[in-house]
Amino acid sequence: MSEFQFELEWYRGRKLPGHATKVHGLTGTVGSFGDVTVEVEWRKPGLKGGHRQYEVRLYGERMPDVVYRTVGPPKPSLRNARFDVAGERVPLDYNAKALRNKDRALRMTCQGRSYEYVVAGFERGATLSRPGVEITMTRGKNPRGKRHGSFGAVTGEAEADALDLALAIVFEHIETRELTASERVTGLLGRVLDPRPGESSY
């Protein structure tokens, strides 16, 4: 059984050696797994136009190599995403037509494990779970200062490992509003108020 809490602090405008652009992300100590950093870098569109390209990476001495790439404004999102964990391509699946957050959960299989990622609400946090392990992430102001951060709580009957934590943490920098029921309602209202030719409002 493993139960512990951790805190990650947001940073912005950091210029790292060898990077052409400034990066932003999260950094902090995650229990016995040591220092962990999530770094987000974006690249401008080419001369022919298009959207920004985002790359989200997770670093940590005891963490697996995690790379999340996506295209499109204004943040890294679930659309057009390529997710690689320790060299394994991880498909992302969710029910975009469901009307409850639980039913819209993001589901993925990584290293033979089945995971479910449920968003509590827009900007209200989320929970990553697999049998025996649950990691809840929330966001808020650091009680010891003015900066904001992400706060993790690990619970469950089984021991959480580096893979569990890496998956929960990296999604703190992914736009996941598609997993909320409000996103579905907004889409339905949009179709009713401004239906496209040949498109049903229902």
pLDDT of residue 200: 39
Angle formed at CA 172 by CA 72 and CA 152, multiple of 5 degrees? 175
Task: Provide the 3-class DSSP secondary structure of residue 34.
Answer: coil
Report the pLDDT value the prediction gives residue 190, as an integer from 0 to 100.
39
User: What residue ranges do the domains of the chain occupy?
Assistant: 4-192
**Residues near 173 by beta carbon (within 8 Å), at least 6 away in sequence:** 25, 26, 38, 40, 56, 76
Side-by-side strand order, sheet with 66-71: 88-89, 82-85, 66-71, 53-60, 35-43, 23-29, 4-14, 148-155, 133-141, 126-130, 113-119, 106-110
pLDDT at 43: 74
Greater pLDDT, 96 or 23: 96
Q: What angle do CA 164, 40, 108 make, to 5 degrees?
A: 35
Distance in angstroms (rounded) separating the CA atoms of residues 93 and 109: 10
**pLDDT digits 0-9 by tens, 65-109:** 999 999 877 789 998 899 999 999 999 999 988 889 999 999 999
Per-residue confidence band for 186, with pLDDT thresholds at 50, 70 and 90? very low
Residue 59's pLDDT is 95
